[in-house]
Amino acid sequence: MQPKKYTLEDIAKLAQVSRGTVDRVVNNRGNVSAKAREKVEKVLKEIDYKPNLIARSLKRHKDLTIAVVIPKHNEQDIYWDQCAQGIAEAGKKLTQFGIMLNYFRYQKSKESFEKMLKEAMLLDPSAILIAPIFYEELKALFSQVEKKGIPIGLINTPIEEIDHTTFVGQDYKMSGRLAAQLMDHIIEHRPRQKILIAHLGVDTDHAIHLRDKESGFKAYFSERNPDLEIEAVSFGSDNFPESLESIFSEIAGIYVTTSKTHLLSAYLNENSNIKVIGYDLVPKNIAQLQQGNINILLNQNPKMQGDACISLLSEQLLYNNVVPKKKLFPIDIVMTENLESYL
């Protein structure tokens, strides 16, 4: 049985107010007494009222635009392609409501990111989704976005100093702690062991979320096994130095904080005794998991994150609803035994 569709006249009768009062409450136009608003909102809640978004968008006579500022395609970094796929799929559902997506995809450099963010601002969008890999050196630019009053959706990297509308991602310190706990269970416990934290393909000077993962990982072991040696290394590019063997020597486990664990495949082929934990179900990581070079992948669901961020921004634009300031995704633990259920 189809649920009853309520008109504004129906709601007005139930709330014992005028149709115009209901219209002003539904469309958040103001000029409504507190008592009348309370009566209308009570009825709306009771009937679980949803406005006709298509009719609303036709009335508006103006399309809404969401600027999407995310990294460009990179064969070694499929993570952002998966995120873009989720964004695009969410965007397709929103075209009927007059919401359009404009993409500003940047190379992974501060200069490229700054250029694309400035271009996005010139568009004067209704809202903006940003994957802010670079932040510290561009605080002034982010402040300009904030001052414009544009709803801001952050994805993957939380920035507390910005008055953003919503952040979609994970609790990265807890993600690091979880990785440490898993590593604690799978390594062989011997005296004078060493664990390596490897930040691959991203400059940690700019990546807040990677620093949080490292912090969480170290905090766990400082509480449980303070004698364990933990070393962190960072490679801003996908090219490793020739001295890689010396860096990775005499270690029991490697915790890779990015989706690029597969870049270590040649080294891992020669060192099958090392336990490895990395991130994300990108094809090359999946292959390494199946081969046994990677023990555990922590899935961050980039496709779902992209979909969720666009959906939350569009909900704010269409309904004028207050959306969650933070939407945290669960941290999926993927091993060979449950991999098939994720494919």
Q: Which of the listed ranges 11-15, 100-104, 223-227, 322-326 does the model predict with the highest average pLDDT?
A: 100-104
Q: Which of the listed ranges 200-204, 211-215, 239-243 does the model predict with the highest average pLDDT?
A: 211-215
pLDDT at position 61: 46
Provide the token pair at 107.
Answer: 């190379």
- Higher pLDDT residue, 146 or 105? 105
Residues 6+ apart with CB under 8 A from 331: 170, 171, 174, 175, 178, 298, 299, 300
- CATH topology assigned to domain 60-169+302-328: Rossmann fold (3.40.50)
pLDDT at position 144: 80
Mean pLDDT (whole number) for 308-332: 88
Provide the token pair at 248.
Answer: 């990775």
Domain boundaries, the chain: 8-50, 60-169+302-328, 172-299
Torsion-angle region of residue 48: left (phi > 0), alpha (psi -120 to 50) or beta? left
pLDDT digits (tens, 9 = 90+) for 12-63: 888 888 877 887 777 666 667 888 888 888 888 887 776 655 455 544 546 7
Residues 6+ apart with CB under 8 A from 336: 289, 290, 292
Residues 6+ apart with CB under 8 A from 157: 131, 132, 133, 135, 169, 207, 208, 209
pLDDT digits (tens, 9 = 90+) for 177-194: 999 999 999 998 877 788
d(CA 228, CA 248): 16
Question: Which architecture does CATH list for 172-299?
Answer: 3-Layer(aba) Sandwich (3.40)
The pTM assigned to this predicted structure is 0.77
Question: Which architecture does CATH list for 8-50?
Answer: Orthogonal Bundle (1.10)
pLDDT at position 167: 93
The answer to whether the 8-50 and 60-169+302-328 domains have the same CATH topology is: no
pLDDT at 340 over 70: yes
- Higher pLDDT residue, 210 or 238? 210
pLDDT at position 76: 66
The rounded mean pLDDT for the chain is 84
pLDDT at position 19: 76
Residues 6+ apart with CB under 8 A from 305: 83, 86, 155, 156, 168, 169, 329
Mean pLDDT (whole number) for 63-76: 85
Mean pLDDT (whole number) for 62-76: 83
pLDDT at position 277: 97
CB 142 within 8 A of CB 132: yes
